[in-house]
Amino acid sequence: MTVTPVNENTVMVYLADHTSPETADQIAALLPILRSQLGHYLIDLVPSYTSILISFDLMAIGLRDFTQQLKQLLHEAKQQQHQHSPSPLIELPVYYGPEVALDADELCRHTGLDFEQIIDIHASTLYRVYAIGFAPGFAYLGNTDPRLHIARKQTPRAKVPAGSLALADQQTAIYPKASPGGWQIIGRTPVELIDYQRENLTLFEMGAQVRFTPISRAKFIELGGIITAEEAALAAGRTQADTSSGDMRREHRIREVA
Amino acid sequence: MSLTVFTPGPLSLLQDLGRHGHQHIGVSPGGPMDEHAFLWANRLLDNPIHAAQIEIAMGQFSCQFHAETTITLTGADMAAKLNQQPISPWQSFSVRAGDQLTLRGSQHGIRAYLAVKDGFVVTPVLNSCATVMRDNLGGPDTQGRKLTAQDSLRYNPTPAQPLRRVPRQFIPEYGQDVTLEVIPGYQYEQFAPEQRQRFFSHSYTVTPQIDRMGYRLAGEAITCQTTSLISEGIALGAIQIPADGQPIILMRDRQTIGGYPKIGCLTASSLSKLAQCQPGAQIRFVEKDLYQAEAERMIEHHFFHSYVGKKRAAAILNQALTT
């Protein structure tokens, strides 16, 4: 573990040199300790895969003193590492249907799998929140099954619909709001992932476990999910044009669980 | 009572000192690009240090006041006129109901700050009204919108205040030849000595790709021994070196995490200077001792906080008593 200053009132804590569930746990456990012990100095904490960036108020404490207190605290926390509380489990319903799985065809081509196999693999993996960033509430979840590893799109989409479930490299994520984005889209959740009026702004937190539950189109709509007429028409067009891919069968196989 | 925007110009935004404490869920802090000018605008009015102002980029802004107050203009000189009379920035002015303020373009610097006594009254989101358009947060509608014609911004009317001006030695000159201070950090050690030397011995040009998120520079490409990095928190002023070797300096609306190597951070005061640079400006970097930078920053903080110290303490006490 290293602690190193990066500007007048910001220090970086590096906890490991590669990503792992253990490191995610360690970071998740440290955050409340830092908040409770150093809270009166803190401006922002930015946890990521293997590090925590910490900015503090120079009106309250100087860089040397802060760094010293931080090191002491991290040392103490290390002694008590066995006291981890288990990571919370977040279950999110996802509709993997043709109207919303915008990159299903590309993913099938790339992996050589049927889309229903892809859904099975994706929904049977338990993910961890390794980092939150890019946009408010955008959680990087890892790792995906090696069979689903796929590069970002060559040309990013100008607008990825809100709630889109996506894949890139070894990770999966949901776009909380509509935004430009280059990840491969395979489904959509009806759950609102960021809400500035809510006490806990986002459902995600560092280190949390996340599982996706496939739901039917009807359930998706019932839970408040939106499929535009244009999306429905486009999907219908794709199904007609492609008689061999078994899109109908695919839709059939989506289990209703949630 | 309020001010009505007649013409907003290309980019006029409500800003306070930023939305802090939410970067762990990916919320960018926002805040004034030129913090130095922002802090002076509030100080001239005895305002709380974080009172909301209008950040006017590239001028072309005009408005009408509907109640008596005192205003300040700081930052770039945009040939401002109050009721057709030319006025100079870095000082305060009394305004009465019906007065009109117009700003044109600027020759030096690109951002001006307009403050009113006690600040604009804006509904905050996550304790701040700082506008971050990319996150759809803050601003007049809480949804991250920039100012548009006919926007009405509330303020509390106040009787005339003593008028003040910023001492000459604190008024920066916004040139196109700028030296910026760099605190070595992050992956600094992973840049070979000759790469660091190249970075500090050449000048870089500010490109047209500049916004509140980052400033792209062009010049001698430098390379880092580490090309792929695990994404990590990005501090204010971080100097990112992507694969093409051209520096990007991360500003107020930066993403919270990123995976490009960084050679260090600009000092906060250098960041304010950079925020006034136009495309084409020539930038030179010099190394700055971390603790020297910290000391200067601390002195600046105490200077701007102390002025409203007593009032602030009273406000905090008052708040504590009412909650």
Q: Minimal CA–CA distance to A130: which of A171, A92, A89?
A: A171
CA A44 to CA A47: how far, in whole Å? 10
More confident residue, B72 or A258: B72
Tell me how far the alpha carbon of residue A230 is from its chain's centroid.
27
Name the minimum distance, in Å, from the CA of B61 to any CA of chain A.
Answer: 29
User: Which residues, numbered 29 to 68 in chain A, qualify as contacts with chain B under a Cβ-Cβ cut-off of 8 Å?
Assistant: 31, 42-53, 55, 58-59, 62-64
The pLDDT confidence band at residue A120, using thresholds 50, 70 and 90, is: very high
Q: Which of A82-96, A152-166, A176-190, B271-285 has the lowest mean pLDDT?
A: A82-96
Task: Give the best residue of A2, A8, A35 to mutate against chain B (max B CB count within 10 A).
Answer: A8
Residue of B134, B257, B291 lying closest to A63 (CB–CB): B291
B20: chain A residues, CB-CB within 8 Å:
43-44
pTM of this prediction?
Answer: 0.91
Question: What does the alpha-carbon distance between residue B240 and residue B247 come to, in Å, rounded to a whole number?
Answer: 6
Given the DSSP bridges, would you call strands B100-102 and B152-154 parallel, antiparallel or unpaired? unpaired
Q: Is A177 on the interface with B (CB under 8 A)?
A: yes
195-234 of A, contacting B, C-beta below 8 A? 196, 201-202, 204, 206
pLDDT at B311: 57
Residue B310: predicted pLDDT = 53
When pLDDT is cut at 50, 70 and 90, the band that residue A247 belongs to is very low
pLDDT band per the 50, 70, 90 thresholds, residue A201? confident
The three-state secondary structure class of B33 is coil
Residue A241 pLDDT more than 50? yes
| Burial class of residue B84 in the structure, from the number of CB atoms within 10 Å of its CB (0-12 exposed, 13-18 middle, 19+ buried) | exposed
Model confidence pLDDT, tens digit, residues A89-116? 999 999 999 999 999 999 999 999 999 9
**Average pLDDT, whole number, for chain A?**
90
Q: A253 pLDDT exceeds 50?
A: no
Structure tokens at B61: 């802004």
In this complex, the residue of B126, B231, B305 whose CB is nearest that of residue A133 is B231
CA distance B29 to chain A (A): 9
Q: Among the residues of chain A, which ranges form H helices?
A: 21-38, 63-79, 104-111, 115-123, 217-222, 229-241, 247-253
**Is the Cβ of A133 closer than 8 Å to some Cβ of chain B?**
yes
B247 CB-near residues (< 8 Å, 6+ apart): B199, B204, B216, B217, B219, B222, B239, B240, B241, B263
Q: Collect the ranges in chain B with pLDDT lower than 70.
A: 307-323
pLDDT beyond 90 at A55: yes
Q: How far is A40 from chain B (nearest CA, A)?
A: 12
Determine contact, residues A181/A156, Cβ cutoff 8 Å. yes
Name the closest residue on chain B to residue A199, using Cα atoms: B126
Q: Cα separation of A23 and B90, whole Å?
A: 50
d(CA B91, CA A165): 52
CA B62 to CA B9: how far, in whole Å? 8
- B311 three-state secondary structure: helix
Please tell me whether residue B40 adopts helix, strand or coil conformation: helix
| Res. A250 pLDDT band, cuts 50 70 90 | very low
ipTM of the complex: 0.93
Per-residue pLDDT at A168: 94
Distance CA A254, CA A251 (A): 6
Q: Phi and psi dihedrals of A123, rounded to 5?
A: -85, -10
What is the per-residue burial (b if ≥16 Cβ within 10 Å, else e) of B7-20?
ebbebbbbbbbbbb
pLDDT in tens, B6-63: 999 999 999 999 999 999 999 999 999 999 999 999 999 999 999 999 999 999 999 9
Q: CB-based burial of residue A78 (10 Å sphere; 0-12 exposed, 13-18 middle, 19+ buried)?
A: exposed
